[in-house]
Chain A
Amino acid sequence: MTRLSELPTLRIDPYEELRFEYDGRPLTGVAGDSVATAMFASGVRVFSRSLKYHRPRGLYSLDGECANAMMAVDGVPNAAAETTPLAAGMRVGPQNVRGSADHDRLGFLDMFDWAMPAGFYYRLMHKPAAMWPIAAEQIRKMAGLGEMEPDHRTVGRYTETYLNAEVCVVGGGPAGMRAALAAAQYGARVVLLERRPWLGGSFEHRLRSLDDGTPAYQRARDLAAAVKAADNIRVFARTALIGTYNDNLITAVQRGANGDDFDERYVEIRAASIVVATGCIERPLLFENNERPGVMQIGCAHRLAHTYGLLPGRTAVFSVGSDGGLECAADLADHGVAITCVADCRPEGHDPELVEALRQRNVPFLAGWVATAAHGRKKVRGVSLTALDGTGTRDDSCDVLVASAGRTPLAGPVTMAQGKLAYDSHTGCFLPASLPARLHVAGRLTGLEDPAAIETSGHGAGLAAAADCGRAVETELRECDERLGQLPGPAAGSGLVRSPTHGRKAFVCFDEDATVKNVRQAIDQGFDVPELIKRFASVGTGPGQGGLPGHNLPMLVAELRGMPPESASPTTMRAPMVPVSMATLAGSSHDMCKRTPVHDSQKLPGAIMRRIGAWRRVRYFSDDLLCRAEVRNVRTNVGMLDGSSLGKFRLWGPDALNALQRIYVSDMAKLRPGRVKYSAMCNDDGCVVDDGIVIKRADNEYYLTTSSGRAGQTVEWFRYHTRYDGWDFKMVNLTDALGVINLSGPNARTVLERVADARVSNDAFPFSGYREFTLLGRVPARVMRLGFVGELSYELHVPSSYMRAVWDGVAAAGTDLGIANFGVEAQNIMRMEKGHLIVGSESEQRTTLNDLGLGFLWSRNKPEARTVGSVALAQTLEQPDRLKLVGFRMDDPEHTPRDGSIVVDERIRGWVCVARNSDALSQAVGMALVDEPLSGEGTTLQIYEDGCGGNLATARVVPMPFYDPGGARIRM
């Protein structure tokens, strides 16, 4: 197809050819083409098949507003060919076709529309019931447009950028550019977003001269040059809005161009003020076969010619409702398209200059006429027209029908930001009626059509935005408003909702094959509001969402129900305003995983790392998941564990003790320096939320530890529960500032002696003791003597920056003894053998301190402290039938139930929190939460494992700890 190559508006290079593949055929486009225009240039007219009826569909809006031109591009389905730039070597294919788009074996379905009324699947297909599962599979296969292969990998560079602008202008047309320039003139930092690759909006492709004689396209380019020259305006072209959110947060997606370091990127802008100048899209005219290939909107025909140099057809009929249609007809006539006639559904109010232009070109102009039906099957071949006053009809042949009922403001960004729309009978549009603070609208979005008014409104909006940023604009803003008042206001719209037809194939929603008739059927079935009809008849729920049907649906519903148009309200517009790929949204990886200071020392051969909460830690140091070697080395020798993820806090100040008394169940007044105190925190239900160690380092100076998972919430927990007290205490989270080495085993002291600059004998540093001394001659350490794993054990807390040196020093000091790492699972086994619990493992959300058998920690002698949970602890103390934590021993020592197995009789009576085959004990033991009546020592528990098929295992409740009940080993 030859291109118009001399037009000054062209955005293509007709001499740079790009080869690509469509449905297996080699085709050629040119630089600057979109995939769709390149296909059109190669003669493709049927781009896809529709969802239900498999009707042929062609170019319609050229802005990707419906699924008509959604294709599979390089294996990615549902790509909008109209907005995807052509690249050499692309592989493009049609969607939802059996065969090809031109010859679709399911095309016959179009004849069976009578069998598929609105919501037919709700009323049929379930009878007989046995048929439904088969029918459901068929629906699945028939529905859906594009195909995604399960092993497809989308490759590309997807990045993100986060901006903080003073003014964000959405829409780079004349109004948006003027707004950006006005704000920039007052020094505001401006970001301008434009969906298309170039600025210019409705001026960009038009040859018509403005009042001062400048052609519109030239004006657009002049403004674009001024915008580009402004230092404080940053332009994001090829950037489509995703949404407008609270506090002027704007998100968008930008397609990369040559030279960009991304293919697509997510753009997020926090702006002090927003100008929305998104303009209008065209409103589909509702008539029979209003979506036949060859039926297209004004902008589509106009831009095919002016932007891409492609004539939309040889013989055209126009059925329009705005002056833009007249202008387009005159231009196409100049380019050699035979214009059979131009019908305008407005009986009056046309631009006389354009009517005259048509007359000069001998184009018949039919005021008050409208298309009622397009003819032809795969391509439009003719059209029937009727006078709206009933005075006549005519039939014309054509190969392109430019059809449009008027314009629809793109108000989604306004409503998403909580602005409100109202129906305006003058324009026949839903226009912004109330705006949120710091958001302004301008241009065609407000109903304006006069070019000078569009620009002036943009200028005013830019000034208002600058005012939001504290700029003194009053004088100029007042002048601007006065000037705008003298310019033509919003142009009258057609108000026409549909042409006088029965509407059997007049499509309200192309993507869902929903017709005027379907909407009527929905109303007849009791669906009376657009939101319900949208759901019932699927109007506006397809890939193009509510864009095209967004105006027509509420207006049609009002008309069919005999309601005034003012009563109509559009369905909610929702983000994303354009479909956005997950690759772009996901952007670069945001994994916030934490590593301990000695992470590398843990990555030993055979070590199995796990993500545990926020941390990556070693769970096993070999593929023996029972960790026998690790456990044995600790039980008989010495091992070391990287416990750096432990929550660690400094708490100090005059009221620090009060805070401790409030949060911990124990009496913290009894803390003595040099000793550790184990205690727990409960919530208001008396349920345990955390446990840990508290140390009094000096008066009003405490150090405490929490579980790894709770560390992030602990400060907030303290602050919340003391919020009304006005206490003077301070708290710092030291979790990341200090590393922890757990040194355990009978030889632990020997190792510690070699690195500690202090006496650590059993007398000098007994069990439950706390000491501060230096390690390796210079590293300050906080050392506590604990027994979580049931052996002689020290916890060394050292500054993270020295952690590596200390770790290596301790390891070196133990080398001759055979010191070895042990991991989280080995620790888990040993603490279980010792009967020590882990909150969250042996407790549920509903487990109280008493249920865990830790009631002894609770001090009732401090009522003045109003300890969190103490009321509930008292109230639940004698409560029957609670789940209690018990230890159990399996009757069959060879059989260890899986964690999570349940305890049953006739009912479920509890569950196994943890159970292991204990190498040290040669028994299978574990802990379970069971109904209180089953918690007595010696009770037999019946254990039901998943997949056991009813073969229960049995266990006996036994006292804990299982290992070293006397505690001699931790005190050795």
Chain B
Amino acid sequence: MFLLPSTPLWDTSPPLKSSYDAVLIGGGLHSLATAYYLARDHGMTNVAILERRFIGYGGAGRNTAIVRANQRTQENVPLYQEALDLWPVLTRELDYNLMFYNCGNLNLCHSEAAVTAARMNIASAQFQGVGSEFLAPADVKRMVPALDVSDRPRHPIHGAMFHPPGGIVRHDAVVWGLAKGASEQGIHIHQQTEVTGIRAVDGKIQGVETSRGTINSPRVLLSAGGYSAGLSHRFLGVRLPISPLTIQAMVTQPLKPLLNHVVSSGAYHVYCNQTLKGEIATGAHMDPWPNYTTQTTAHYLKHQAEALTDILPCLRGVRFMRHWAGLADMTPDMAPIIDGNDPVEGYYLNCGWGYFGFKSCTSTGKYVAQYLATGERPEILEPFRLSRYKQHRLMGETAGAISYTPWN
């Protein structure tokens, strides 16, 4: 049983055809999942994924691997819940261990207002049948003994929202597993293939231009993560209300098990979890200025250390060893844009996921595949139309007014 064959997981150099039934721009998780489900559920295998660098280069490989379904609004929860349910299913289907570690997520509350917000999320989750409960500080301490629940921290812990169904997933494994699953069904994954234009004639998609030639296709899905808004505007003049912001994360040197749950805190702007390898991965807040650099900043490392050690004092003796950054494509209401055929027929969008794109990629890919294959918008994707911004109907995923920049 241990003599595992060493064959490529996916076809790394398929021929670039001149025509596909669908072209997916971006080699991240949303494209890969969409491709997988296009083939699996709809028999569409004449599909190409076009990736400028290598698959999983962007947010797919840079997130902190946390999965959960305790979103604020009922429009979002079902999508995330289905994604949570899919991790074990996909592990089996893909025959690739996505390493879903169902440790549960503990979201700390540090004020009366935060408790109110948590209560609302918990009630919403419970009403929709999603596991979530409120824990008093003493219970929080029992779950994570390293937490300081005394009055000493700058923001004392008033309680926590515990979400048992969540946890962490090995994000790279999802990239590779989905690539394997898509490729096995005949999808072409073209790496090092940059899209340089989208062709549309009379309001209809014709195909794309790439660094390796022209591809004809009646359908193009733009799911290029943080780069989507720029590409959409550059290629088709379709402007998206997205601010690309740098989001930073880091890991400590590996430790034996210390944190048995994902711990996050809004007041401190941190979340952290211990990977299966033992590193404490932590991140949270975005840099407050739009940019595409993916550069880290000196002070963020300090901020994170200061914040984490205030609630988890034992971490003072733990060392950070790697610090990186990625892009978060933030929309004004912290919910994605999933739309199609507006304003160009055959042009589909799946972007604006901000820093939630990992958690939801599988279920979203499934429904976007259905959308692409049938041309009919699945009911579950209804709330994510681009037009909601024009109508001033923001989704309530974030409670307070947010300002990514002074200029919005």
Interface residues of A (CB under 8 A from B): 51, 70, 75-78, 114-115, 117, 120-126, 129, 132-133, 136, 139-141, 143-154, 242-243, 245-246, 249, 251, 266, 268, 521, 524-526, 528-529, 531-532, 535-536, 538, 541-543, 545, 572, 574-576, 579-587, 589-591, 593, 610-612, 619, 683, 685-687, 689, 713, 716, 720, 825, 840-841, 844-846, 848, 872, 875-876, 879, 882-883, 898-902, 904, 907-908, 911, 944-948
Q: How far is the CA of A146 from the CA of B257 in the complex (A)?
A: 10
Q: How far is the CA of A120 from the CA of B99 in the complex (A)?
A: 12
Enumerate chain A residues within 8 angstroms of B392, measured Cβ to Cβ. 685-687, 848, 872, 875-876, 879
* B258 interface hit (Cβ, 8 Å): yes
**Contact indicator per residue, chain B 307-327, by CB within 8 Å of chain A (1) or not (0):** 011100111111111111000
Enumerate chain B residues within 8 angstroms of A120, measured Cβ to Cβ. 2, 4
Q: Which B residue's beta carbon lies closest to that of A72?
A: B317
Q: How far is the CA of A580 from the CA of B117 in the complex (A)?
A: 35
Q: How far is the CA of A526 from the CA of B155 in the complex (A)?
A: 48
Most chain A CB atoms below 10 A, which of B8, B254, B317, B401: B317
**8 A–B contacts, CB within 8 A, in A order:** A75-B317, A136-B276, A245-B296, A245-B297, A525-B6, A545-B321, A685-B332, A944-B127
Enumerate chain A residues within 8 angstroms of B132, measured Cβ to Cβ. 946
Q: Which A residue's beta carbon lies closest to that of B1?
A: A124
Tell me whether B111 and A845 are in contact (CB under 8 A).
no
Tell me whether B133 and A147 are in contact (CB under 8 A).
no
- Not counting A545-B321, A581-B316, A875-B392, a sample of 7 additional A-B residue pairs whose C-beta atoms are within 8 angstroms of each other reads A136-B99, A148-B255, A245-B298, A576-B322, A899-B112, A901-B123, A946-B122
Tell me whether A947 and B134 are in contact (CB under 8 A).
yes
A287 to chain B minimum Cβ distance, whole angstroms, is 22
A78 and B314 contact, Cβ closer than 8 Å, known pairs A146-B253, A720-B407 = no
B270-319 interface with A by 8 A CB criterion: 274, 276-278, 295-298, 301-302, 304-306, 308-310, 313-319
Q: How far is the CA of A844 from the CA of B73 in the complex (A)?
A: 12
Tell me whether A525 and B296 are in contact (CB under 8 A).
no
* B146 interface hit (Cβ, 8 Å): yes
**Contact indicator per residue, chain B 372-395, by CB within 8 Å of chain A (1) or not (0):** 000000000000000000011111
Q: Which B residue's beta carbon lies closest to that of A146?
A: B255
Enumerate chain B residues within 8 angstroms of A872, measured Cβ to Cβ. 392
Select which of B7, B274, B395, B402 is within 8 A of A525 by beta carbon.
B7
A535 and B295 contact, Cβ closer than 8 Å, known pairs A521-B6, A845-B401 = no
* B9 interface hit (Cβ, 8 Å): yes
A139 to chain B minimum Cβ distance, whole angstroms, is 5
Tell me whether A899 and B298 are in contact (CB under 8 A).
no
Most chain A CB atoms below 10 A, which of B2, B145, B298: B298
Select which of A143, A153, A572 is within 8 A of B316 by beta carbon.
A153
Q: Which A residue's beta carbon lies closest to that of B398?
A: A845
B128 to chain A minimum Cβ distance, whole angstroms, is 8
Most chain B CB atoms below 10 A, which of A76, A249, A582, A945: A582
Q: How far is the CA of A945 from the CA of B127 in the complex (A)?
A: 9
Enumerate chain B residues within 8 angstroms of A686, measured Cβ to Cβ. 392
Tell me whether A543 and B254 are in contact (CB under 8 A).
yes
* B115 interface hit (Cβ, 8 Å): yes
Tell me whether A579 and B321 are in contact (CB under 8 A).
yes
Enumerate chain A residues within 8 angstroms of B4, measured Cβ to Cβ. 117, 120, 123-124
Select which of B111, B117, B119, B124 is within 8 A of A908 by beta carbon.
B124
Enumerate chain B residues within 8 angstroms of A117, measured Cβ to Cβ. 2, 4, 6
Interface of B is mostly: loop
Q: How far is the CA of A902 from the CA of B120 in the complex (A)?
A: 6
Enumerate chain B residues within 8 angstroms of A908, measured Cβ to Cβ. 73-74, 124, 127-128
Tell me whether A129 and B88 are in contact (CB under 8 A).
yes
Q: How far is the CA of A902 from the CA of B98 in the complex (A)?
A: 35
Q: How far is the CA of A368 from the CA of B1 in the complex (A)?
A: 42
Most chain A CB atoms below 10 A, which of B56, B95, B123: B123
* B37 interface hit (Cβ, 8 Å): no
Tell me whether B123 and A143 are in contact (CB under 8 A).
no
Tell me whether A845 and B318 are in contact (CB under 8 A).
no
Select which of B74, B116, B301, B304 is within 8 A of A575 by beta carbon.
B301
The 8 A-B pairs at the shortest CB distance, nearest first, are namely A144-B278, A900-B119, A526-B8, A585-B305, A579-B319, A524-B6, A900-B120, A150-B146
A946 and B133 contact, Cβ closer than 8 Å, known pairs A528-B12, A585-B306 = yes
Tell me whether A576 and B320 are in contact (CB under 8 A).
yes
Tell me whether A129 and B92 are in contact (CB under 8 A).
yes
* B403 interface hit (Cβ, 8 Å): yes
A249 and B302 contact, Cβ closer than 8 Å, known pairs A147-B256, A152-B317 = no
Tell me whether A587 and B302 are in contact (CB under 8 A).
yes
Q: How far is the CA of A536 from the CA of B117 in the complex (A)?
A: 39
Tell me whether A122 and B124 are in contact (CB under 8 A).
no
B110-155 interface with A by 8 A CB criterion: 110-113, 115-124, 126-128, 132-134, 144-146, 154-155
Q: How far is the CA of A201 from the CA of B401 in the complex (A)?
A: 54
Tell me whether A846 and B393 are in contact (CB under 8 A).
yes
Select which of A77, A124, A525, A585 is within 8 A of B255 by beta carbon.
A77
Tell me whether A525 and B396 are in contact (CB under 8 A).
no
* B102 interface hit (Cβ, 8 Å): yes
Tell me whether B314 and A149 are in contact (CB under 8 A).
yes
Enumerate chain A residues within 8 angstroms of B236, measured Cβ to Cβ. none
Most chain B CB atoms below 10 A, which of A147, A268, A900: A900
Q: How far is the CA of A275 from the CA of B322 in the complex (A)?
A: 24
Q: How far is the CA of A611 from the CA of B151 in the complex (A)?
A: 12
Q: Which B residue's beta carbon lies closest to that of A841?
A: B113
* B54 interface hit (Cβ, 8 Å): yes
A882 to chain B minimum Cβ distance, whole angstroms, is 8
Enumerate chain B residues within 8 angstroms of A124, measured Cβ to Cβ. 1-2, 4, 97
Tell me whether B97 and A582 are in contact (CB under 8 A).
no
Tell me whether A146 and B256 are in contact (CB under 8 A).
yes
A510 to chain B minimum Cβ distance, whole angstroms, is 14
A829 to chain B minimum Cβ distance, whole angstroms, is 12
Tell me whether B318 and A77 are in contact (CB under 8 A).
yes
Tell me whether B396 and A529 are in contact (CB under 8 A).
no
Q: Which A residue's beta carbon lies closest to that of B168?
A: A136
Tell me whether B6 and A946 are in contact (CB under 8 A).
no
B163-182 interface with A by 8 A CB criterion: 170, 172-173, 176-177
Most chain B CB atoms below 10 A, which of A76, A132, A584, A586: A586
Enumerate chain B residues within 8 angstroms of A153, measured Cβ to Cβ. 313-314, 316
**Contact indicator per residue, chain B 2-21, by CB within 8 Å of chain A (1) or not (0):** 10101111111000000000
Q: How far is the CA of A242 from the CA of B394 in the complex (A)?
A: 42
* B400 interface hit (Cβ, 8 Å): yes
Tell me whether B333 and A846 are in contact (CB under 8 A).
yes
B197 to chain A minimum Cβ distance, whole angstroms, is 26
Q: Which A residue's beta carbon lies closest to that of B114?
A: A900
Tell me whether B123 and A139 are in contact (CB under 8 A).
no
Tell me whether B254 and A145 are in contact (CB under 8 A).
yes
Tell me whether A151 and B112 are in contact (CB under 8 A).
no
Q: Which B residue's beta carbon lies closest to that of A592?
A: B154
B296 to chain A minimum Cβ distance, whole angstroms, is 6
Q: How far is the CA of A212 from the CA of B296 in the complex (A)?
A: 46
* B185 interface hit (Cβ, 8 Å): no
Enumerate chain A residues within 8 angstroms of B332, measured Cβ to Cβ. 685
* B214 interface hit (Cβ, 8 Å): no
Enumerate chain B residues within 8 angstroms of A845, measured Cβ to Cβ. 333, 394, 396, 398-402
A902 and B316 contact, Cβ closer than 8 Å, known pairs A525-B6, A844-B399 = no
Select which of A582, A713, A900, A945 is within 8 A of B319 by beta carbon.
A582
Enumerate chain A residues within 8 angstroms of B101, measured Cβ to Cβ. 136
A140 and B276 contact, Cβ closer than 8 Å, known pairs A146-B255, A611-B154, A902-B123 = yes
Q: How far is the CA of A899 from the CA of B118 in the complex (A)?
A: 10
B330 to chain A minimum Cβ distance, whole angstroms, is 13
A846 and B394 contact, Cβ closer than 8 Å, known pairs A124-B97, A147-B256 = yes
B249-263 interface with A by 8 A CB criterion: 252-258
* B91 interface hit (Cβ, 8 Å): yes
Select which of B97, B310, B323 is within 8 A of A123 by beta carbon.
B97
Enumerate chain A residues within 8 angstroms of B396, measured Cβ to Cβ. 844-846, 883
